[in-house]
Amino acid sequence: MPKQSHSKIPTPQPGETFHWNRYFTRRQFIKGSAAVLATAAAAAGGIKTGFKENQVAYASEETSGKTVAIPTICENCVWRCGAIAYVKDGILTKLEGNPEHPNSRGKLCPRGNAGIKVLYDPDRLQFPMIRAGERGSGLWRRVSWEEALDFTAENMQRIKDEHGPEAMIMSSTHNLTQPYFENLLNAFGTPNYGTQRSLCFNAMTIAFTYTYGIAQPGVDYDNCRYIIYTGRNLAEAISNSETQKMMEFAARGGKIVVLDPRFTITASKAVEWLPVKPGTDLAFFLAVNHVIVTEELYDRDFIEKHTVGFEKLKEALQSYSPEWAAERCEIDAGTIRRIAREFASYRPAAVAHPNWRTSNFRNSFQTQRAIAILNALMGNWGKPGGLTPEGEESGPELGSLPQPPYPKVRAPRLDGVPWKYPLVPLKYGVIQEIRDALLTGKPYQGKGWLVYRQNPLMSIPERRKTLTALKNLDFLAVIDILPNDTAYYADVILPESTYLERWDPIAPAGNKLFLRQPVVEPLYDTMSGLMILKELGKRLGLEDYFPYEKEQDIIKAQIAPFNIDFDELVKKGFYEVKESEDHEMHFQTKSGKVEINSSLLESVGEPGVPVWQEPPAPPEGQFYLLTGKVAQHSQFTTQNNQWLMELTPDNPLWINAAVAKRLGIKDNQKVVVESKVGKVISRANVTEAIRPDCVFLAAGFGHLSKALTIGYGAGVSNSALHETNTDKLSGCQALSETFVTVKPLNSEEIAGGETS
């Protein structure tokens, strides 16, 4: 380990005031060691209800000097892979995939493997703190949990008393504790719930929900023979088990067609890569559907028995010939026709993958509907090699703790669901609208925000706007494990234990129930999300909604229906439930059938079948700004991970080689990227692997918090560039509808620096 002996700042004592930048950037490097554990143990206690009891009895005398294997669940992305933690003398040495877990199948991706560096991140939040200077001044005071929680609850209560509960916004990203976060939200009585969904794959989940009644169907890779991926880059946006299955599928000789403006690694594995013009994949799928319908290549039986609205589709598709599409999507009409025929010839073992975000345009919802319908035309639902009717969080029904009903919500939502976005589910929301409502004060002024495991400053488009919105809040509380960008502007920071130090509710996967449990004692004075939420609830007079004394009480209630021994679950990490043999073809849609023509869409005055919706295109001299993932990072959460940053330390701007030559941009040269709303200085990655009309920036980089000593200064934020463009049907942010100019950096620009 590098020696960092210079000017180390001692950890502040409770009550002591310190400066964010100085403390975090100069404090001693923490490595998992007995000394660290000793301080953590000393710091524990107080109201932190029974970490002691919560301790798994692993670090006992009999295991001294031995490596013990503890099954748990990874949280370095949302895929929830089963992992086995190897711990020696209380120090985590290795994380491996749990072979019993269907999501990991014994393997972990680079992020999963690098979980160790989440636990031993040198910049972790180590104690609760309250702002001690102006917002954003960086002055903080270390406080006790008691004080931090009281302070948070008092402020929330004050806002509730003065402005009503709806003035309090609460937001959280997909996680296992989310049900209890929603408990706090609903019990508190605010409708204003922000999730990551509208910045993510709303278009897909809503389109499939309205077509099949299931948000995120799977693919039967084992029997499939032909898959079309649209902007789904499984090789780099790793969904562990699915990525494994895709590679097995490909190695078997399964056909992969990839539509992507970028030559992604997934595209490099495909039989055919179609560098589609951004936003026009809708035209491609309309034409494919057109060919299949006009040439009658579809599964007539399935269409007749299990779908509604085929005739309307047939009619709507008439004008969408391959020639019509070719003009728009820049894929040869012959190719479209050939692919449609090939694809149909493999049915039902042919799948148009539900993808993730496809092209990130406002028309993506239509694209996803066209894809959902293409699958219906193949009649592949529940068939070998087709789509599998497993929902997003399917699995055995779990037990729960009793709790009172929620109070009635009296105000409309700030994000416009459903009054502006009638089709967006309440649990998804449209978070970028919350930000805008904070700025406009309409329909009413939000006053406070409780942010849980989220970094809105980094994730919501138009970072500058988000920053203003956050600064204008009366109260901002952040629960996180790292001194993140949003946390920097907070009034109070409640440090959570990492996923390797805490209990979480059960996570079902397939027919198994999996357990996340602490694999080491918390290193610092942190608490689990479940306990933080309970303590907040208690102070807000909402204790009845958190009827547990410790985290295990929830787990015990969840497993109650299954007659499982808790200790055995702890030891084994999972429990297998008998699989129900229920394969009846039933769809949870309004009609109970696959809705090729969506009555819901019609009910809000939209066409019931997919129609062409012209995507905007960049004016002369500008580029589509594409975004996407790299295999080594998870959104905005992993840029302080020492190992992952060693592999992928920044996000250079991909630019086509021929275009770069024309603009006089050389590989690795600094470039200025500017959109309507922001400007960043990036590093050019001059490559053949992208369309000439596009540039690409991977997501997650460009952090503002100097306390992230590894991630700060690395790469640039594409949220600083993104314009806010929301699809009125799905609420989905159209990330690719931002157009940018790119030019080599010259001396005047250097003086200007990066703006956000």
> Binding another protein by CB under 8 A: which of 333, 692, 723, 743?
692
Cα–Cα nearest to 684, from 700, 673, 676, 675: 673
Q: Please identify, using beta-carbon distances, which residue of 446 and 711 lies nearer to another protein.
A: 711
Tell me the closest approach of the beta carbon of residue 100 to another protein, in angstroms.
Answer: 14
The length of the chain, given as a count of residues:
756
In angstroms, what is the minimal distance from the CB of 275 to another protein? 5
- Residue closer to another protein by CB (options 569, 686) is 686
643 belongs to the binding site for another protein (CB under 8 A): yes
Question: Residue 149 or residue 684: which is nearer to another protein going by CB?
Answer: 684
DSSP secondary structure letter of residue 122: T
Q: Which is nearer to another protein, 688 or 748 (CB)?
A: 688
SS (H, E, C) 349-362: CEEECCCCCCCCCC
Selected range binding another protein among 493-501, 508-516, 613-621, 653-661, rule: CB under 8 A: 653-661
**Considering beta carbons, is residue 237 or 282 the nearer one to another protein?**
237
Question: Could you tell me the CA-to-CA distances from 8 to 3, 12, 611 in Å, in that order?
Answer: 11, 12, 62
* Cα–Cα nearest to 121, from 459, 501, 390: 501
Least gap, CB of 521 to another protein (angstroms) = 20
Q: Which of the residues 277 through 336 are near another protein (CB under 8 A)?
A: none
Residues in 485-544 at the binding interface with another protein, rule: CB under 8 A: none
Task: Please report, for residues 362, 419, 745, the alpha-carbon distance to residue 204 in angstroms, rounded to integers and kept in the order given.
Answer: 12, 21, 38
Strand partners, 308: 595
Task: By CB under 8 A, name the one of 642, 649, 670, 744 that touches another protein.
Answer: 642
Residue 676 interacts with another protein (CB under 8 A): yes or no: no
The only residue of 403, 658, 661, 752 in contact with another protein, by rule CB under 8 A: 658
Q: Which is nearer to another protein, 542 or 644 (CB)?
A: 644
Q: How far is the CB of 4 from another protein (least distance, A)?
A: 12
For the CB of residue 232, give the shortest distance to another protein in the complex, in Å: 14
Give the shortest CB-379-to-another protein separation in angstroms: 23
Comparing CB distances to another protein, the nearer of 113 and 195 is 113
Residue of 39, 216, 687, 741 that binds another protein (CB under 8 A) = 687
Least spacing, CB of residue 615 vs another protein, in Å = 20
Cα-Cα-Cα-Cα dihedral sign, residues 100, 551, 169, 142: negative
The correct pick among 364, 613, 635, 656 for binding another protein (CB under 8 A) is 656
| Residue (96 or 749) nearer to another protein, CB | 96
Centroid of chain to Cα 333: 36
DSSP 3-state of 480: strand
Which burial class, exposed, middle or buried, applies to 579 when counting CB atoms under 10 A from its CB (0-12, 13-18, 19+)?
exposed
Q: Binding another protein by CB under 8 A: which of 53, 301, 620, 688?
A: 688
- DSSP letter string, 680-726: EEEEEEEESSB-TTEEEEESS--B--TT-TTTBTSS--STTT----B
Minimum distance of another protein from residue 145's CB (angstroms): 32
CB of 309 to another protein, least distance (A): 35
CB atoms within 10 A of CB 743: 14
By CB under 8 A, what part of segment 84-113 binds another protein?
93-97, 106-110, 112-113
Q: Which residues, 546 to 565, sit near another protein by CB under 8 A? A: none
Query: Measured between alpha carbons, how far is 739 from 435 in angstroms, rounded to an integer?
Result: 22
Q: Beta strand 512-514 with 574-576: parallel, antiparallel or unpaired?
A: antiparallel
Residue 137 φ then ψ, to 5°: -75, -20
What whole-number distance in Å separates Cα of residue 554 and Cα of residue 569? Answer: 14
**Minimal distance, residue 225 CB to another protein, in Å:** 9
Burial of 442 (0-12, 13-18, 19+ CB in 10 A): exposed
Closest CA to 240 of 81, 353, 395, 115: 81
Measured from the CB of residue 480, what is the shortest distance to another protein in angstroms?
A: 23
Q: How far apart are the C-alpha atoms of 321 and 306, rounded to whole Å?
A: 26
Least separation in angstroms between CB 687 and another protein: 7
Determine the size of the site formed for another protein (CB under 8 A).
Answer: 53
Give residues 220-279 in contact with another protein (rule: CB under 8 A). 235-236, 238, 240, 243-244, 247-248, 250-253, 255, 263, 265-266, 268-269, 271, 273, 275
Of the candidate residues 447, 691, 703, 722, the single one contacting another protein (CB under 8 A) = 691
Contact 707, 20 (CB under 8 A): yes
Q: How far apart are CA 382 and CA 390, in angstroms?
A: 9
| Site residues (vs another protein, CB under 8 A) | 1-2, 93-97, 106-110, 112-114, 116, 235-236, 238, 240, 243-244, 247-248, 250-253, 255, 263, 265-266, 268-269, 271, 273, 275, 631-632, 642-644, 646-647, 656-658, 687-692
